[in-house]
Structure 1
Amino acid sequence: MLISVIVPVYNAEKYLRECLDSIVNQTYHNIEIILVDDGSTDASGAICDEYADKDIRIKVIHSANKGVTAARINAFETSSGDYITFVDADDFLDCNMFKKMLDTVMEDNNDIIVCQYINYDSKNKKQEKSMLRPPIGIYYKEGIVRLLKKNFLYNEKTGMAEMPPFLCAKLIKREFVQETLNVEVGLSYNEDQVGIFALLLRINSMSVIQDYFYYYRHHSVQATAVYTDRLWERIADSMQRFRELDRNDYLTIQLPQKCFLMLFECTIKAIKCGIDITIINREIDKYLIRLPYAFNAEFASRKNKIKKLLIKYKFIVILKMIFTTKSFLNRFIV
């Protein structure tokens, strides 16, 4: 059985060799590796070509910069694997990942296999296993629907999505990949979680295993770790896409909680980056106006109702003071 490994690459020269070594050295060898150099301006493209010269399983596509979703679609259209998996160019894998996950495929013949991931602190070289989610086991249609309804997007107890919000660390049957990628088109934030939601709506079975095979690297230049001018708008776009896809109203309660969570995260990022409070207030107002359904009090928990009021009525001034004080004190702490 052939596995297609799709790796979008953009200015990843610092980590790319470690990523590619972890793929080519897998104990399961029947793989094709498709690298999409998405308009990199560093040595990433040359590194891709170097590895392709040494391993006939590697194909390199050089393209103008169009973003991760376009790169994945480009790669998928040239792939031929029975199962597809995605790897980010700054992450890396356990050498037994494909063999063990394919063993699960051969045993259960499920549409998607999900493994666990390890958070890897690039700066301090520390590893921490992620919370085990979703619960281990085999999910058929009824179980998948139950996951979608209950806490796919937001688990009140953990404050997290019950389904890890990225396409990586998953082996997906080919027939379900195209539509998964298509629903991500036009999004530039949280697009993977939208794609996974669309994927779970369509599949009939899923295996979740307890093995930690995927190493998710955390570093300061990640797109999800920084504030950009269009961040609020991009978050709102993804929330709207969830609403469009959720024709069975699985997310009626979860979506408001997710919107509150994203609102807080975005506000904190803006404060950390020194954005003026007036600008933050204006962006919050635009965000709230755009998503009236998501902030309907009927669907909000008491805790999130309070959070909304605190943010809306200048609680960000207090947050600003906290971060400013911490920044000031850190200058004098050795």
Structure 2
Amino acid sequence: MNQPKVSIIVPVYNSEKYLAMCLDSIIRQDYPALEVILVDDGSQDNSGLICDRWSKKYTLITVIHQNNQGVAAARISGYRQSSGDFVMFIDSDDYIKPGMVTQMVSCMINQQVDMVCCQYEEYQEGKNFQTKVRPPVGRYNRQKLNELLSNNFLYDNRTYEAGMNLYLVTKLIKRSKYVEKALLNSLGLWYGEDMVAVLTLCYSVPAIYVLQDSFYVYRRYNEQVTKQYRSDLVQAHSSTMHRIIDIDKNHFLHKQIPLRSFNTLGRVTRKMVKSGLTYNQFKIEIQNEEKSFLMNLAMKVNSHDFSWKDRFKFQLFYKKFYFFYYVILKIKG
């Protein structure tokens, strides 16, 4: 019996430092019916040359070179070039563990589902950190998916995180019209592409299965890199929330969206302070964003859903006591 073909699509952009490790982890997979599509998205370093070198060495690798268009566009290019029955996406600075493809294909077939989700570990400075299993292991038919969506899919106020693992890279997906729809929904975003794509899929497919195994290793960068603040960050989050609301036709997420928005606003403001903004700079940034879509969503939250600490911070923000809010963030570091 012929095994289903799996297409692994890797968007590549300026990742020469880690690309070989990523590709080596793919080539070492023991699954025989495999194709790899590398999409060099206008890299300015040697990533494109590395892609070409690996494609000459391994016939299962195909390379696409294109002008820089972003992750979602690169994924679409790779998907349209691919021919697999199943598809998965891997980021070029991450890597996967041995047996990932075989185990996920086996689960897809045995459980008769349209998407399989594995767990992931975070990797930093030579150490791996296990993350929480999300959602609980098992099979989710359409009814259970709807329950997950309406319960804590996007945000759980008890854990301060999504109830669903929202990384597209931890998914094996059956080829269907829903895959391209998910990618197109995330087009043009530079924040939250995975979140939008995974939401689209979970809104559309008949059934998924969640595995216990952590097959994917996500590279976590040091704080010096991640704490950098961009002035268009709030607008990027606003664009993502617009897409999420457009997808959520059944209003499963209507209670979670304000909570997620306020949590996101908290992370953005912490990033402002950690990046070294003075209070005056911080105040100007906040005032510039007071009419933003994200801010409006965050202010609709029911503060009774918060702990007393979060309720206090919400009141400071809501009443525009920005100085005291800034001081609290500064003290917390």
TM-score (norm 1): 0.91
In angstroms, what is the RMSD of aligned CA positions? 1.9
* Amino-acid identity (%): 38
Inter-partner Cα distance in structure 1 for 2:227 and 2:246: 27
| SS in structure 1 of the partner of residue 121 of structure 2 | strand
Which amino acid is the alignment partner of residue 274 of structure 1? Answer: G
**Which residue does the alignment assign to 2:300?**
296
**Does structure 1 residue 181 correspond to structure 2 residue 190?**
no
Q: Deviations over 1:103-126 (max 9, x none)?
A: 1012012010001111111x2x11
Which runs of structure 2 are paired with 1:279-318 in the superposition (5 Å)? Answer: 279-291=281-293, 292-298=296-302, 301-303=305-307, 304-311=310-317, 312-314=320-322, 315-318=324-327
> CA distance change for structure 1 residues 139 and 222 in 2, over 3 Å: closer, same or farther?
farther
CA contact (8 A) 1:232 1:283 kept: no
**Which residue does the alignment assign to 1:100?**
103
Shift of 1:313: 1.3
> CA distance change for structure 1 residues 192 and 146 in 2, over 3 Å: closer, same or farther?
same
Shift of 1:299: 7.3
Shift of 1:163: 1.0
Inter-partner Cα distance in structure 2 for 1:187 and 1:78: 22
Q: 294-303 or 105-114, which moves further after superposition?
A: 294-303
| SS in structure 2 of the partner of residue 107 of structure 1 | helix
Shift of 1:270: 1.3
Inter-partner Cα distance in structure 2 for 1:247 and 1:299: 25
Shift of 1:79: 0.8
Shift of 1:280: 2.8
Which amino acid is the alignment partner of residue 306 of structure 1? Answer: F
| SS in structure 2 of the partner of residue 289 of structure 1 | coil
Which amino acid is the alignment partner of residue 301 of structure 1? Answer: D
> CA distance change for structure 1 residues 201 and 169 in 2, over 3 Å: closer, same or farther?
same
> CA distance change for structure 1 residues 300 and 8 in 2, over 3 Å: closer, same or farther?
farther
TM-score (norm 2): 0.91
**Which residue does the alignment assign to 1:332?**
none
Inter-partner Cα distance in structure 1 for 2:313 and 2:329: 16
**Which residue does the alignment assign to 2:265?**
263
Unaligned segments of structure 2, at least 5 residues:
none
**Which residue does the alignment assign to 2:196?**
194
| SS in structure 1 of the partner of residue 203 of structure 2 | helix
> CA distance change for structure 1 residues 144 and 2 in 2, over 3 Å: closer, same or farther?
same
Unaligned segments of structure 1, at least 5 residues:
327-334
Inter-partner Cα distance in structure 2 for 1:320 and 1:151: 27
CA contact (8 A) 2:70 2:188 kept: no
Q: Deviations over 1:33-91 (max 9, x none)?
A: 00011111111111101110011110001111111011001111111111110000010
> CA distance change for structure 1 residues 59 and 214 in 2, over 3 Å: closer, same or farther?
same
> CA distance change for structure 1 residues 83 and 216 in 2, over 3 Å: closer, same or farther?
same
Shift of 1:236: 1.1
**Which residue does the alignment assign to 1:110?**
113
Q: Deviations over 1:191-246 (max 9, x none)?
A: 21011111111011000011111001111499865322211110111112111221
Q: 214-223 or 174-183, which moves further after superposition?
A: 214-223
Q: 191-200 or 278-287, which moves further after superposition?
A: 278-287
CA contact (8 A) 1:256 1:300 kept: no
Which amino acid is the alignment partner of residue 284 of structure 1? Answer: I
Shift of 1:309: 2.3
